């Protein structure tokens, strides 16, 4: 029984729809009143917005997103953070540490050192994509132990699922602590993290297939 | 001096009709380390393209504050031709690197990635004529599969003249012995030309006919690119 | 930066910084025979843009598939003295592209009768080296270089040979040149075509098509540069180039 259970993919330059007053979302561009796709992806025509969800692509930081970063540099009044993007972020001292710090006497690597993994928030992105992050937000913390994996950032929504349904399923069935960064970096801690990783990588590979949830449930069932 | 007879009773040495393409093969995701990649074959001409990026660009003085920098490299493998080609860029490869980059740049939304770079690497593994257009077709597929935002794909082909007859898709022998050869690339849905190079001897009318032939062929090549990209995400259970 | 924006504003209004018409070249000056040590030479000025082409001839081996034909090599140097944007070092991609486009115009037009440059079939032929040096880059180096190349060739004499040695400074006869290919770069800004861009205008061009035209209006080379071209503009640009090439060819006498 052959059944095409896939959403039709669009190409860059392919016509999506007439604008009709709708908002222009991500992954599309406007020529006159016609909306075209910018990327290889799945089109979404909603009541108030037209967009295309890319199937691949690099992470471009957006203010408000929570990401997992790795400290790449210890500077004088802050830290350089690798956020899996062409753009390295900066974590200023005041955004990383609550207490008062005398930088002339303190080696700030005692707070965050090279290769430390942190869960932080994108607090500012300038026009030229200079990025600042902050630890001052709910849930932001240093992530100790555990391991990190990288997935295509555009697959993160599918991995999290509607209202967190998919990721919660994986957490429940494997008993792992999992934090998913919007930048495609995922941190896991727990005995059965290999099962969790398998599930996550399957979602990444087959995110465009309908019926994926059932497949993952089955995979984690045992 | 013996001149090679390229056309015999209306058929080319490889048996093709004047306006017939060679067998074309296209595949994506052939280099798993790359962000996007593709393999394209036009007959015996084989090109592999890899795309890395957008990614950080160092040293910093190379960065453009408001746009992405596109870096391109066209290279022919030493074993790709009859007489071994010394490794490394020669003048022809340097010129082709430039024209290929300029064939792709107009479609990329470079303003979306200030200060970053996108690297496009194309290797010619087998050269039997029309290598630059094969390279462009591969690079275009690689860019799309890497998720690089673009206005359109880019489709390319070669046309020319042998023994007074206008032909399509020149192979190696035809390339060397043609009266004219023209390399052409365009944005298939926008009617914009991003590569146009010709050397030889043509009247204005011959150029007009060749341009039409090239444009129509690029539309066919675009259909092939479309189906290989859509196929990547198609799954039948 | 300010001048470029100004150039664009003017062009949109139908004017150019120096008041020229859109299809007008700057003042063209061609001077031949200026380099005494070269077998042929020419200096070309397009307004303030200046290039010098020198032709040297030497013995060489023919290509295996053309054993009775002389050979041609074209090189271009973007000499650092000509512009703050030129670096010291071997030719970069722009210099290489320029040399190869000029080469195509000369080679594909068959303007040099290479079959008259055979000394010993399959073994020894004359090799014609054209070297083009930029002296001042005020825009449109390509057209200036192509013009300098053909002007230098028309000025070239084949050196005398005695006992298989080249006697420099003494000549046998003129280099056999039968056509005068002219390269015209047709540029587009917005919806306007323009010729012979100045350095400021070059920075705001949308696209450019360089066309090499022979005396009989045959097109010997095309090279699209910069951004994309509208399909329908291509033939229009070729027509502009063919028309202009006749005017410029007259200057070569």
The answer to whether B219 faces chain C, any CB pair under 8 Å, is: no
Average pLDDT over residues A203-214: 81
> Which of B34, B233, B235, B236 should we substitute to test contact with A (largest number of A Cβ atoms within 10 Å)?
B233
Omega prior to B21 cis, within 30 of 0: no
Q: Which of A87, A128, A209 sits opposite B66 (nearest CB)?
A: A128
**Tokens matching residue C24:** 């007008």
Q: From chain C, pick out residues whose CB is under 8 angstroms from the CB of B91.
A: 91, 96, 99-100
If we measure between CA atoms, which residue out of B15, B51, B46, B45 comes closest to residue B32? B51
Q: Which residue of A has its CA nearest to B226?
A: A11
Same fold, A15-54 and A147-221: no
Query: 10 Å Cβ neighbour count for A62?
Result: 13
pLDDT tops 70 at residue C1: no
Q: How confident is the model at residue A7 (pLDDT cuts 50, 70, 90)?
A: low
Multiple choice CATH, A15-54, 2.70.40.10, 1.10.1040.10, 2.40.50.100, 3.40.30.120:
2.40.50.100
- Sequence-separated (6 or more) residues with CB below 8 Å from residue A138: none
Please give the span between the terminal C-alpha atoms of chain A, in angstroms, as a whole number: 27
The CATH homologous superfamily to which domain A147-221 belongs is K Homology domain, type 1 (3.30.1370.10)
A151 three-class SS: coil
Q: Which of C68, C110, C234 sits opposite B196 (nearest CB)?
A: C234
Percent of chain A with pLDDT strictly greater than 90: 71
Q: Where are the alpha helices (DSSP H) in A106-185?
A: 156-160, 165-174
The answer to whether B217 faces chain C, any CB pair under 8 Å, is: no
Q: Which of A8, A11, A129 sits opposite B115 (nearest CB)?
A: A129
B91 three-class SS: helix
Q: Which residue has the tokens 């349904």?
A: A165
SS3 for chain C is: CHHHHHHHHHHHCCCCCCCCCCCCCCCEEEEECCCCCCCEEEEEEECCEEEEEEEEEEEECCCCCCCCCCEEEEEEECCHHHCCCCCCCCCCHHHHHHHHHHHHHHHHCCCECHHHCEEECCCEEEEEEEEEEEEECCCCHHHHHHHHHHHHHHCCEEEEEECCEEEEEEEEEECCECCCCEEEEEEEECCEEEECCCHHHHCCCCEEEEEEECCCCCEEEEEEEECCEECCHHHHHHHHHHHHHHHHHHCCC
pLDDT tops 90 at residue A112: yes
Predicted pLDDT of residue B58: 86
Q: Do A40 and B147 make contact, defined as CB atoms within 8 angstroms?
A: yes
Q: Tell me the pairing of strands B45-56 and A66-74.
A: unpaired
List the domain boundaries for chain A: 15-54, 66-143, 147-221
**Tokens matching residue B178:** 């043609």
C72 within 8 A of C107, measured Cβ to Cβ: yes
B98-112 tens-digit pLDDT: 999 999 999 999 999
User: What contacts 24+ positions apart, CB below 8 Å, involve B29-33?
Assistant: B29/B145, B29/B232
ipTM of the prediction: 0.89
The answer to whether B205 faces chain C, any CB pair under 8 Å, is: no
Q: From chain B, pick out residues whose CB is under 8 angstroms from the CB of A58.
A: 35, 53-55, 147
| A contact chains, 3+ CB pairs < 8 A | B
Looking at the complex, report in whole angstroms how far the Cα of residue B21 sits from the nearest Cα belonging to chain A. 24
Q: What is the mean pLDDT of chain A?
A: 90
Predicted pLDDT of residue C2: 64
What is the C-alpha to C-alpha distance for residues B69 and B72, in angstroms, rounded to an integer? 10
| C contact chains, 3+ CB pairs < 8 A | B
Predicted pLDDT of residue C162: 92
pLDDT tops 50 at residue A2: no
What is the C-alpha to C-alpha distance for residues B153 and B146, in angstroms, rounded to an integer? 13
Name all domains of chain B by residue range, CATH numbers in brackets. Answer: 17-231 (3.30.230.70)
Was domain A66-143 assigned CATH 2.40.50.140?
yes
Q: Which of C91, C221, C238 sits opposite B199 (nearest CB)?
A: C221
Q: Do B92 and C100 make contact, defined as CB atoms within 8 angstroms?
A: yes
Q: Which residue of B has its CA nearest to C95?
A: B95
Average pLDDT over residues A192-204: 91
Query: 10 Å Cβ neighbour count for A55?
Result: 23
In degrees and rounded to multiples of 5, residue B155 shows phi and psi of -115, 145
Residues linked to residue C194 through DSSP beta bridges, in sequence order: C187
Mean pLDDT, contiguous 10-residue spans, chain B (237 residues): 69 93 96 92 96 91 92 93 89 96 97 95 94 98 96 98 95 94 97 97 97 98 96 64
The answer to whether B185 faces chain C, any CB pair under 8 Å, is: no
CA A84-A90-A92 angle, 5° bins: 145
Name all domains of chain C by residue range, CATH numbers in brackets. Answer: 10-250 (3.30.230.70)
Q: List residues of A whose CB lies inside 8 A of any B CB.
A: 2-6, 8-9, 11-14, 27, 29, 36, 38-41, 54-58, 60, 86-88, 127-129, 154, 206, 208-209
What is the C-alpha to C-alpha distance for residues B63 and B65, in angstroms, rounded to an integer? 6
Q: Do C and A touch (≥3 CB pairs < 8 Å)? A: no
**Tokens matching residue B226:** 């479309």
Q: What is the pTM of this model?
A: 0.90
Q: Do A and B touch (≥3 CB pairs < 8 Å)? A: yes
Q: Do C97 and B203 make contact, defined as CB atoms within 8 angstroms?
A: no
């Amino acid at each position: 029984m052959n059944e095409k259970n896939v959403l039709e993919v669009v190409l860059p330059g392919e016509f999506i729809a007439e604008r009709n007053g709708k908002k222009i979302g991500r992954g599309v561009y406007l020529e006159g009143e016609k909306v075209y796709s910018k990327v290889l992806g799945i089109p979404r025509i909603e009541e108030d917005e037209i967009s295309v969800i890319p199937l691949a692509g690099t992470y471009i930081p957006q203010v408000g997103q929570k990401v997992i970063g790795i400290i790449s540099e210890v500077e004088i009044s802050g830290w350089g953070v690798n956020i899996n993007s062409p753009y390295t972020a900066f974590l200023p001292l005041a955004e990383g540490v609550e207490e008062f710090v005398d930088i002339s006497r303190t080696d700030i690597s005692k707070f965050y050192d090279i290769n430390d993994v942190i869960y932080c928030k994108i607090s500012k992105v300038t026009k030229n994509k200079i990025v600042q992050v902050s630890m001052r937000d709910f849930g932001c913390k240093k992530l100790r132990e555990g391991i990190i994996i990288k997935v295509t950032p555009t697959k993160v929504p599918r991995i999290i699922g509607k209202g967190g349904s998919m990721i919660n399923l994986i957490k429940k069935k494997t008993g792992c602590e999992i934090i998913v960064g919007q930048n495609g970096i995922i941190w896991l801690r727990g005995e059965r993290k290999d099962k969790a990783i398998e599930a996550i990588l399957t979602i990444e590979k087959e995110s465009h297939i309908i019926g994926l949830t059932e497949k993952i449930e089955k995979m984690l069932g045992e | 001096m013996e001149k090679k007879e390229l056309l015999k009773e209306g058929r080319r040495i490889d048996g093709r009709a004047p306006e017939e393409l060679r067998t074309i093969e296209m595949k994506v995701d052939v280099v798993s380390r790359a962000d996007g990649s593709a393999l394209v074959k036009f007959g015996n001409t084989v090109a592999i393209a890899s795309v890395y990026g957008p990614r950080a660009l160092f040293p910093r003085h190379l960065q453009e504050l408001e746009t992405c920098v596109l870096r391109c490299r066209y290279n022919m493998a030493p074993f790709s031709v009859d007489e071994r080609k010394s490794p490394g860029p020669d003048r022809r490869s340097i010129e082709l690197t430039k024209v290929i980059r300029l064939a792709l740049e107009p479609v990329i939304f470079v303003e979306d990635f200030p200060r970053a770079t996108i690297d496009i690497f194309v290797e010619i593994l087998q050269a039997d004529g029309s290598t630059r257009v094969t390279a462009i077709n591969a690079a275009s597929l690689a860019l799309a599969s890497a998720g690089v935002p673009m206005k359109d794909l880019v489709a390319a082909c070669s046309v020319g003249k042998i023994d007074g007859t206008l032909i399509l898709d020149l192979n190696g022998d035809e390339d060397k012995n043609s009266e004219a050869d023209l390399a052409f690339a365009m944005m298939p849905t926008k009617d914009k030309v991003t590569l146009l190079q010709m050397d030889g001897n043509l009247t204005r009318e011959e150029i007009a006919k060749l341009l039409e032939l090239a444009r129509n062929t690029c539309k066919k090549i675009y259909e092939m690119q479309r189906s290989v990209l859509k196929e990547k995400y198609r799954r039948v259970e | 930066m300010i001048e470029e924006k100004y150039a664009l504003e003017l062009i949109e209004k139908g004017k150019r910084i120096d008041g020229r018409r859109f299809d007008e070249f700057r003042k063209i000056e061609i001077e031949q025979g200026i380099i005494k040590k070269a077998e042929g030479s020419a200096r070309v000025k397009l307004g303030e843009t200046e290039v010098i082409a020198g032709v040297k001839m030497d013995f060489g081996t023919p290509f295996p598939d053309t054993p009775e034909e002389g050979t041609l090599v074209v090189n271009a140097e973007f000499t650092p003295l000509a512009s703050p944007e030129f670096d010291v070092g071997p030719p970069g991609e722009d210099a290489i592209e320029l040399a190869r486009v000029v080469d195509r115009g000369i080679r594909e037009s068959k303007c040099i009768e290479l079959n008259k440059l055979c000394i010993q079939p399959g073994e020894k032929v004359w090799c014609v080296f054209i070297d083009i040096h930029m002296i001042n880059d005020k825009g449109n180096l390509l057209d200036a270089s192509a013009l300098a190349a053909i002007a230098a060739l028309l000025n070239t004499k084949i050196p005398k040979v005695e006992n298989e040695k080249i006697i420099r400074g003494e000549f046998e006869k003129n280099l056999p040149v039968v056509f005068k290919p002219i390269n015209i770069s047709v540029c587009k800004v917005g919806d306007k075509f323009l010729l012979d861009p100045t350095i400021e205008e070059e920075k705001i061009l949308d696209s450019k098509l360089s066309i090499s035209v022979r005396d009989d209006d045959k097109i010997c080379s095309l090279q699209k540069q910069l951004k994309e071209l509208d399909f329908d503009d291509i033939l229009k640009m070729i027509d502009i180039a063919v028309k202009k090439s006749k005017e410029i060819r007259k200057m070569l006498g």
